[in-house]
A = this chain, B = another copy of it.
Amino acid sequence: MVEPTPIICTVDVTLLTLQDDMLHVLLLKRDREPFAGALALPGGYVHAEADQSAEDAAARVLKEKAGIVSPYLEQLATFSGPGRDPRGWSLSVAYCALLPAELLAVDGAERQLRPVARLPALPFDHARIVDAAVQRVRSKSQYSSLPVYLCGEAFTLPRLQAVYEAVLGEPVNKVSFRRKMDELGMLEAIPGAQTSGGAHRPAQLYRLRREFRHALSMLDRGINV
Q: Are A54 and B75 in contact, with the CB atoms below 8 A?
A: no
Contacts A49-B5, A91-B9, A132-B225 known; A54 to B82 CB distance under 8 Å?
no
Contacts A81-B52, A91-B93 known; A4 to B47 CB distance under 8 Å?
yes
Q: How far is the CA of A93 from the CA of B138 in the complex (A)?
A: 24
* Cβ-based interface call for A195 (8 A): no
Q: Are B52 and A82 in contact, with the CB atoms below 8 A?
A: yes
Q: How far is the CB of A33 from chain B (nearest CB, A)?
A: 11
* Cβ-based interface call for A35 (8 A): no
What number of copies of this chain does the assembly contain? 2
Q: How far is the CA of A173 from the CA of B221 in the complex (A)?
A: 19
Q: Are A77 and B225 in contact, with the CB atoms below 8 A?
A: yes
Which residues does chain B contribute within 8 Å of A142, judged by CB atoms? 221
Contact of A139 among B9, B91, B138, B222 (CB under 8 A): B222
Q: Assuming A6-B48, A76-B225, what are 17 further A-B pairs, CB within 8 angstroms?
A: A3-B45, A4-B45, A5-B47, A5-B48, A5-B49, A7-B48, A9-B9, A46-B91, A48-B82, A53-B80, A53-B81, A77-B225, A78-B93, A91-B91, A135-B222, A138-B222, A139-B221
